[in-house]
Amino acid sequence: MKRKLLIVAMMMGWGAHAQIDSNSLMGLPTATNAEMTALTTGVGIGSLLFNTTDQRVYRFTNTGWQAETDSQNASQVSLVTNVDVDNVTGDPGATNETTVEEVVQAIAPITSRAARVFYPPSIAIDASTNGTFTLDLYAQYTAQFATPVTSSTGAPAAIPVYAATDLYYYVTFADNTVFNVNTMSINANGVLTYTIIGQPTDLNALINVVFVVK
């Protein structure tokens, strides 16, 4: 009867404890790293040992001894639902990503490209007279970025800027009643050559410039 009551007490968590000492512990076979790596023939898949060299438990698999670990890298973490995160024009194969690593690798080029594109500050162009002119887009960019009107507490006095040859330059839109868009060009250092063919009827004649970091 007492034996039955003791079992109930242990199941109910009433404070009974099993007696544990060095004689009741179950140990794994031990081996140095050199001894372990020499053990390959006749070892069964799933065999375990404790490596005394690096103090870790190893298991034997069909590829040899592998350290037991709770950590996983991104390539080992599967998605709950496979998805094609970069299903866009030019995506070779348009295959579904199945692990976190595949998603990261698919998204990285997209986010990297997006982060490298930015617009320069507003630039005033005199369109009061017809003719061909030049404008140093890079100089306009550095002049405005280097001397901000104000900044947040602790911010550097000047905004870091790219070198002229670190950038690609684009005009993505120009008012074709004001500019001859067929002859507009930009050299590698960001100097824009443009021809004015007419005056804007209001203040809304536009030219959009985009910089892309190489």
pLDDT tens digits along 202-211: 665 678 899 9
* 82 Cα distance to chain centroid: 20
pLDDT of residue 94: 63
Nearest Cα neighbor of 133 from 206, 187, 194, 205 is 194
pLDDT digits (tens, 9 = 90+) for 79-128: 788 878 766 555 555 678 888 888 888 777 666 666 688 888 777 788 88
Identity at 34, one-letter amino acid code? A
Residue 14 binned pLDDT confidence (cut-offs 50, 70, 90): very low
> Boundaries of CATH 3.40.1620 in the chain?
28-71
Helix (H, G, I), strand (E, B) or coil at 166: helix
Residue 137 binned pLDDT confidence (cut-offs 50, 70, 90): very high
Nearest Cα neighbor of 129 from 197, 185, 202, 191 is 197
pLDDT digits (tens, 9 = 90+) for 19-54: 677 777 788 899 999 999 998 888 999 999 999 999
Per the prediction, the chain carries an average pLDDT of 80
User: Residue 211 — φ and ψ, nearest 5°?
Assistant: -105, 140
Strand ordering across the sheet containing 207-213: 117-118, 207-213, 167-174
User: Residue 141 — φ and ψ, nearest 5°?
Assistant: -65, -50
Percent with pLDDT over 90 in the chain: 30
d(Cα 163, Cα 143) in Å, to the nearest integer? 13
pTM for this prediction: 0.50
Residue 164 binned pLDDT confidence (cut-offs 50, 70, 90): very high
CATH 3.40.1620 fits 28-71, yes or no: yes
SS3 track for 144-157 = HHHCCCCCCCCCCC
Strand ordering across the sheet containing 131-136: 131-136, 191-196, 185-186
Exposed e or buried b per residue across 34-45, where buried means at least 16 C-beta atoms within 10 angstroms of its C-beta: eebeebeeeeee
